[in-house]
Amino acid sequence: MSKLRISRDSGYADRARKYTVMCEDKALGKIGNGESVEFDVPPGEKEVYLKVDWCRSNKVRINVPTEGTAQLSGGSNLRGPRIMLAIVYVLFKPHDYLWLTAKAD
């Protein structure tokens, strides 16, 4: 079966909150701070993003191989001094609040 594996970094922002993993605009499940989760998905090209409340990450198009695993990593953009800009991200940049990227095999 084809799999989608997502790793979330550990950080202060949203430490106690879980992000929803979205694939083709459907919720696959949740991922907590510092966790890695794996989902069974059909093979083919997928659009994946992370979501928390009305904020989300960038959308990533990834090809899920037959009998293989596609890997992504994500987290919050609120690091270091940016944590002071949380309200700006929430109100004006909700699609930049989180980040998501494909990992090389």
Residue-wise pLDDT tens digits, 12-55: 888 889 999 999 999 999 999 999 999 999 999 999 999 999 99
Instruction: Give the contacts of 51 (CB within 8 A, at least 6 positions apart).
Output: 19, 20, 22, 57, 98
Average pLDDT over the chain reads 92
* β 19-23/26-31 pair status: antiparallel
Whole-number pLDDT of residue 46: 96
Q: What is the DSSP string of 55-75?
A: EE---EEEEE-TTSEEEEEEE
The structural domains of the chain, with segments of one domain joined by +, span 3-102
For residue 86, the model assigns a pLDDT of 84
Contact call for residues 22 and 59 (beta carbons, < 8 A): no
- As given in the structure block, the two tokens for residue 70 are 């596609």
pLDDT over 70 at 83, yes or no? yes
Question: How many Å apart are CA 57 and CA 96, to the nearest integer?
Answer: 6
Distance CA 28, CA 31 (A): 10
pLDDT at 15: 86
CATH, range 3-102: 2.60.40.1120
What per-residue confidence (pLDDT) applies to 105?
Answer: 58
Query: DSSP secondary structure string, 1-26?
Result: --EEEEEE---STTTT-PEEEEETTE
